[in-house]
Amino acid sequence: MAKSDKIGQLNIEPENAIDLLIQGKSDREVAEAIGVARQTVNQWRNHDADFVVELNAKRHEIWGSQTERLRSLVRKAVDILESSLDAEDLRLRQSAAVHILKAVGL
């Protein structure tokens, strides 16, 4: 079980492990970086409720902000597709048309 200072608050090693896991590091890479055994990281990730809750919360926080960022780009992307429909290059026009049709489920 990951060490905690208080109920629901993880020590520095598990916190650092979470940060590295969110960056896409493997259990082995995380373990080497924070100075614990790979099995320890695996144990935290798969069997420690506090660790899993914190990891999922941080993932949700990051994914939520990225989702909003993507949504803010939709208008620009649609504008580009629209202008591509008028391009001289037939392949570019066809590609734009296919992307639009797929986006609306046709």
Topology given in CATH for the domain delimited by 4-103 = Arc Repressor Mutant, subunit A (1.10.10)
In the DSSP assignment, the letter for residue 88 is S
Can you spell out the DSSP letters for 50-73?
HHHHHHHHHHHHHHHHHHHHHHHH
Arithmetic mean of pLDDT, 19-30: 95
Across the chain, mean pLDDT equals 89
- Measuring CA to CA, how many Å separate 20 from each of 53, 55, 72, 76, 94? 16, 10, 27, 33, 42
- Single-letter amino acid code for the residue at 89: D
Task: Please tell me the distance from the alpha carbon of residue 85 to that of residue 9, in angstroms, as a whole number.
Answer: 54
pTM check: above 0.75:
no
Ranges of each domain in the chain: 4-103
Orientation angle between helical segments 38-47 and 49-84, nearest 10 degrees: 80
Is a pLDDT exceeding 70 seen at residue 7? no
pLDDT band of 6, cuts 50, 70, 90: very low
* Residue 10 near residue 51 (C-beta atoms within 8 A): yes
Tens of pLDDT, residue by residue over 40-85, are 999 999 999 999 999 999 999 888 888 888 889 999 999 999 999 9
